[in-house]
Structure 1
């Protein structure tokens, strides 16, 4: 017992200590396990954070690369991509397609650098020759612009120049190129030698010809020199051409450039700008750089821009007085804001004075920017000069500033705009009243304080335009009207003319149906004007390209490849526009197979009822209208009229006999795309009605149909009967006259 107790007393502490050790070991193991687990989690978290950080860095790096690429593309790739044209070359004459390819190929040689000068230069004359040969065709010169095409013009070239042999040699080439023009145009050169020396220039034989060259030796900046010009130069010159002294004329062609001046008469224009080589600077504004692309199946010769910068603007002296007033009050150390003013005048001319184009940039006659910055001492920014968003160059010791100074920073006032509009009215004959919002401002401020783009993007709103060979033709509404106006025959008075039922009825007819439609309309006894329909043979490829989507792949299936659709659209347009020009209050347009299907008295009564309603168009037949949808929308408004508000659920109604009011005709003819058809003319009309939610009137049943019994189906490829067509007809019998019309249920008057 004792021994056992002794053994217990001797071993217990050991066991106890061992147990404590084991327990401590277990505790330590658990702690270590927990610690390792925590560490593992921490490491995992750190690893995750590390990868998150790496991922963030990678994302930032990718974004920086993308931004760099975008910046590089915007700065160095001077033009727009040559995407595949949507036009089908098989539908266009091969010679026209060849010209487009020539323009695109050589245009791309300049636009997409690097290019080899001697290769491009050797091919460039052929490129220009293709354009010049095309412009010899009288079809590209409407009567008004064609008269002035052969008249010579006088141009004053104004440039602030340095005094180095390289500059003088470059201007020797410019003088030779402009002086040898084939049009007999006269150029007078006025040089401002801002270094107050002209030693290198005296070596040029032409420089001493006082009849061609005048010069001023004086230190200063561009605007200082411009102030010395005479306000009365508009009496002697048609254009003033401000040129920087670091421009090369290798790819310029005066004959093509002046053709666009003569045809489109812009108040401000400029050649496009390309860099001297890949990676160098052309223009700081993308809209000033040469564009090389196709437009409606043709090469783009020029494009409209929101503004024209200071580098090479050609200013019409028609606006010189308004421009000169701004120049005289300008701080001469900076030209900031002057470009904003002439650009605003050009946009005002386009918006309010019926100018065909505002600021015009001619792509196919580019100038090469040598980017020597001679007037700035040969450098953009000197070392150590501080950049400041608010003041631009704070530590700036140069005489000529690239920033707004003093009153140059002030926006244009309403009085400025009024003075500008006065000279524009003198230039274009008449201008409409300027909206108040477009009288405002001129220089725009961004959220960071300084002036942005010196007023280049101020109101009125810029309208993009692209000009190709077909643009030389006058495709404005008035131009189209003047071209086909001879197809109207003398107006025939009807017995009901004095009753005021309608001001005029237009009958669009082919020769073989003329006698029929004249007899049919005699029943109505209204004033009638016959239009001999426009036909395919009277249109050219240019017409189809400029006026419709006939050759456009993926366009409306009833237009693509069908040449008879456009003549139909033009024939209807001629009637609408003639009514617009003559100010008729209510007109009717009928096709040459139209026939009256009810009593004449009811038709005449319907005309008078229509004039008293607020609907703008009256369809006298339905053709392929979905009668079920139409029935849900109409409400009776008079004895013979139902009215509804147009919406997408109603299919196009027929144009074979329709009546219109003058307010609607005016808006329809003044819309921006009045002479371009993406779809057949009846679809175009319905789309316009739906977009404006116009109220339309229809009779309960067709009052005028189409005489298909005598004439058969349509002869203009515009016939399309929907499948599974289930309309309701009177007595369940399809009308013999061929109008697949509705029989609308009588309803109560509104």
Structure 2
């Protein structure tokens, strides 16, 4: 891959790739939303930013209303900005599964499946999309800047019938792996990985049919846990690529509103996915790193140390952060 070319050509080439023309594909910005003021403000702000960065025709917007409806939003904005919508109880990837159409790969280059508390207005989207393309991967996760509680895998579960919240604890080592993996690594521009979580993945249209149709019982009716533990290895096998990448150079903000209502169905869904697709189950690890300062891909050992063997056979170690 021509990594040096990315830096030399820089902003202008990347912008040409992000902006739409009559022959280019769009990006679908897909949000699962309620009707809270903060949700509306965040979505409106991010849509406006995307159009400023990528021109008016860069993106379509689809909103899946799990609480409230389009009637709760500014009517003029909705008519002008939202391409399509749906309204029903549920969760983001179940919505996406139901919304998916066979013609999407001919229309969209990527689907960006966003939680409503993701803010990308501080990100150079031109760079983000160029890095995503350059990665050669199909499921790309922006890393998350700031402090998050990492509620996807260590969450407060509402104990049924008690009205009390009890802390659900997973394996401490696994939680720490997910925590570290999802934070920007200043040593790297991007990293191939076997795990990208479901908070804000950028999905190549190439992989949509695999994860939304062919992966039977990966998305359950009342819960969606488990999908992101198998989709990287499943896609890697199917397409003979390193299917998942984390982007360190372009982290987004996770505002971490903690609005997800986690039920025992989530644990059961994940158990069933693991039972059915055990061979694809992620170890939650880095595979390699594209060095930020050298634009060279190097390996990462199990302890998180980078080993660069390009210096005349000598090993240069960049310790984990």
TM-score by length of 2: 0.70
Look up the match of 1:309: 197
Q: Does 1:678 align with 2:314?
A: yes
Look up the match of 1:272: 143
Q: CA deviation at 1:270?
A: 1.3
Q: What is the rounded CA distance, in whole Å, between the counterparts of 1:282 and 1:301 in structure 2?
A: 26
Task: Say whether the 8 Å CA contact 1:281–1:369 is kept in structure 2.
Answer: no
Task: Say whether the 8 Å CA contact 2:119–2:253 is kept in structure 1.
Answer: yes
Look up the match of 2:92: 222
Q: CA deviation at 1:173?
A: 1.1
Look up the match of 1:243: 114
Residues 291, 175 of structure 1: alpha-carbon distance in 2 compared, 3 angstrom cutoff? same
1:333 aligns with one of 201, 222, 229: 222
Q: What is the rounded CA distance, in whole Å, between the counterparts of 2:10 and 2:74 in structure 1?
A: 47
Cα deviation, 1:425-473, whole Å, max 9, x if unaligned, reads xxxxxxxxxxxxxxx623xxxxxxxxxxxx3328xx962323426437x
Partner SS for 2:208: helix
Look up the match of 1:48: none
Which structure carries more strand by proportion?
A: 2
Task: Say whether the 8 Å CA contact 2:191–2:287 is kept in structure 1.
Answer: no
Q: What is the rounded CA distance, in whole Å, between the counterparts of 1:274 and 1:346 in structure 2?
A: 27
Q: Does 1:289 align with 2:115?
A: no
Q: Does 1:463 align with 2:312?
A: no
Q: CA deviation at 1:287?
A: 4.4
Q: What is the rounded CA distance, in whole Å, between the counterparts of 1:148 and 1:470 in structure 2?
A: 24
Task: Say whether the 8 Å CA contact 2:186–2:292 is kept in structure 1.
Answer: no
Q: Does 1:176 align with 2:48?
A: yes
Partner SS for 2:70: coil
Q: CA deviation at 1:267?
A: 0.6
Q: What is the rounded CA distance, in whole Å, between the counterparts of 2:57 and 2:191 in structure 1?
A: 24
- 1:597-612, aligned counterparts within 5 Å? none
Look up the match of 2:266: 402
Q: Does 1:373 align with 2:254?
A: no
Task: Say whether the 8 Å CA contact 1:231–1:324 is kept in structure 2.
Answer: no
Residues 208, 150 of structure 1: alpha-carbon distance in 2 compared, 3 angstrom cutoff? closer
Task: Say whether the 8 Å CA contact 1:307–1:456 is kept in structure 2.
Answer: yes
Q: How many residues in Structure 1 have an aligned counterpart in Structure 2?
A: 271
Q: What is the rounded CA distance, in whole Å, between the counterparts of 1:306 and 1:281 in structure 2?
A: 18
Q: CA deviation at 1:547?
A: 7.4
CA RMSD of aligned residues (A): 3.7
Cα deviation, 1:310-344, whole Å, max 9, x if unaligned, reads 10111111121111224664322110221123222
Look up the match of 2:207: 319
Partner SS for 2:78: helix
Look up the match of 1:191: 63
Partner SS for 2:53: coil
Task: Say whether the 8 Å CA contact 1:193–1:216 is kept in structure 2.
Answer: yes
Q: CA deviation at 1:165?
A: 1.1
Look up the match of 1:582: none
- 1:314-463, aligned counterparts within 5 Å? 314-326=202-214, 329=217, 330-348=219-237, 353=240, 355=241, 357-376=242-261, 401-405=265-269, 408-409=272-273, 411-412=275-276, 441-442=279-280, 455-457=281-283, 463=287
Q: Does 1:548 align with 2:310?
A: yes
Q: What is the rounded CA distance, in whole Å, between the counterparts of 2:186 and 2:120 in structure 1?
A: 22
- From the CA coordinates, give the structure whose radius of gyration is larger: 1
Q: What is the rounded CA distance, in whole Å, between the counterparts of 1:467 and 1:267 in structure 2?
A: 20
Partner SS for 1:206: helix
Task: Say whether the 8 Å CA contact 1:223–1:335 is kept in structure 2.
Answer: yes
Look up the match of 1:207: 78
Partner SS for 2:287: coil
Q: What is the rounded CA distance, in whole Å, between the counterparts of 1:136 and 1:150 in structure 2?
A: 19
Partner SS for 1:374: coil
Q: What is the rounded CA distance, in whole Å, between the counterparts of 1:274 and 1:462 in structure 2?
A: 18
Q: Does 1:157 align with 2:29?
A: yes
Task: Say whether the 8 Å CA contact 1:282–1:369 is kept in structure 2.
Answer: no
Residues 469, 320 of structure 1: alpha-carbon distance in 2 compared, 3 angstrom cutoff? farther
Q: What is the rounded CA distance, in whole Å, between the counterparts of 2:89 and 2:18 in structure 1?
A: 40
Partner SS for 1:180: helix
Q: What is the rounded CA distance, in whole Å, between the counterparts of 1:409 and 1:321 in structure 2?
A: 18
Question: What are structure 1's unaligned runs of at least 5 residues?
Answer: 1-133, 295-299, 381-392, 395-400, 414-439, 443-454, 476-545, 550-558, 560-676, 680-750
Which structure carries more helix by proportion?
A: 1
Task: Say whether the 8 Å CA contact 1:190–1:215 is kept in structure 2.
Answer: yes
Look up the match of 2:167: none
Q: What is the rounded CA distance, in whole Å, between the counterparts of 1:273 and 1:216 in structure 2?
A: 28
Q: What is the rounded CA distance, in whole Å, between the counterparts of 2:180 and 2:130 in structure 1?
A: 21
Q: CA deviation at 1:246?
A: 1.3
Q: What is the rounded CA distance, in whole Å, between the counterparts of 1:467 and 1:183 in structure 2?
A: 31
Question: What are structure 2's unaligned runs of at least 5 residues?
Answer: 154-177, 299-307, 316-321
Q: What is the rounded CA distance, in whole Å, between the counterparts of 1:183 and 1:411 in structure 2?
A: 45
Q: CA deviation at 1:288?
A: 4.0
Q: What is the rounded CA distance, in whole Å, between the counterparts of 1:409 and 1:166 in structure 2?
A: 34
Partner SS for 2:60: strand
Partner SS for 1:238: strand
Q: Which moved more, 1:326-335 or 1:367-376?
A: 326-335
- 1:517-536, aligned counterparts within 5 Å? none
TM-score by length of 1: 0.32
Residues 326, 467 of structure 1: alpha-carbon distance in 2 compared, 3 angstrom cutoff? farther
Q: What is the rounded CA distance, in whole Å, between the counterparts of 1:250 and 1:301 in structure 2?
A: 19
